[in-house]
Structure 1
């Protein structure tokens, strides 16, 4: 006889309780009920710092905090919130939730996780209502806009030599500065 064993699906509350209790021995995030490792590396780490610096603008906050999105607790590489934004709630004792109107941009720097960032993470961030989502790879910057319940209606690709609009700052950033060409 063959038995099928269903994968366990974590709730956000269960994941936070386990995280607060120190149950994980490495960086992880909750994605659609699954615990995913947070992948890091030299290029990734350097780009996250570069992107964070490029996004600094008077009054906004650039952060790398977990950004609860629906039932998921992803760790975007950085995200930007509007001046004066206050959390809309909390999960557990240390994790803030945010209103979509206060989140200006969500960014994933993508090396090994490009397909998941372009599909699964785009679906999660779009359905949460985050207005703009960037995926920065070694070759391109993918800008997602027009969030809806299954992701984003629009995705534009920017390559070396292009500039990417940053609506909250009314500026553009060269793709070459973002990807490190």
Structure 2
């Protein structure tokens, strides 16, 4: 029996989500040294190791974002983002308004690079980012060479979601950011 199947047998009312401040205190005490976890929806989620396609895309997007945004925004690369009281995920990129300190709460654009975590990135994480009101969320799917673009956030999810495979993708919240989608995936 797996750990997940044991959890399915427990009634929902016995669970209490881990609060972000509790998680932060645990991190500061070194409780997760040697493991890579993030807090999403009050649950600790172990991060998958990054394979070559994921690493390659992180390198490519880092160069593109820093070059396109210059000094107008800060670019968080795999840094925690304070989404809500029970979530402190580490998106691959967050385009941040300048001047935030500590764990940033505001982001103009959040980007996840997905090779093995597509369902999680398009599901739980997408809902959290929408409820937080981030104006735009991209999931760069390195397996299918496309970008899942989420816009019009609300507490109930995203108003518009499209899959972009061709042409130029223009960010709506960060006007100086556009990218040629086929070129992004070219080897």
TM-score range, shorter chain: 0.7 to 0.9
How far residue 17 of structure 1 moved from its aligned partner, in angstroms, is 1.0
114, 118, 131: which is aligned to 1:114? 118
1:20-169 matches, cutoff 5 A: 20-24=28-32, 25-39=34-48, 40-56=50-66, 57-59=69-71, 60-64=73-77, 65-70=79-84, 71-82=86-97, 84-87=98-101, 95-99=102-106, 103-138=107-142, 139=144, 140-159=146-165, 161-167=166-172, 168-169=174-175
Change (3 A) 1:61 1:120: same
Q: Which has the higher strand share?
A: 1
Q: Report whether the alignment pairs 1:176 with 2:182.
A: yes
SS at match of 1:164: strand
Question: Is contact 1:136-1:179 (8 Å) kept?
Answer: no
Number of residue-to-residue matches in the alignment: 167
Distance (whole Å) between structure 2 residues aligned to residue 178 and residue 8 of structure 1: 41
TM-score, structure 2 as length reference: 0.81
Change (3 A) 1:47 1:153: same
SS at match of 2:120: helix
Change (3 A) 1:80 1:97: closer
Residue 5 of structure 2: aligned partner? none
The two structures, once aligned, show a CA RMSD in angstroms of 1.9
TM-score, structure 1 as length reference: 0.83
Deviates more, 1:7-16 or 1:150-159: 7-16
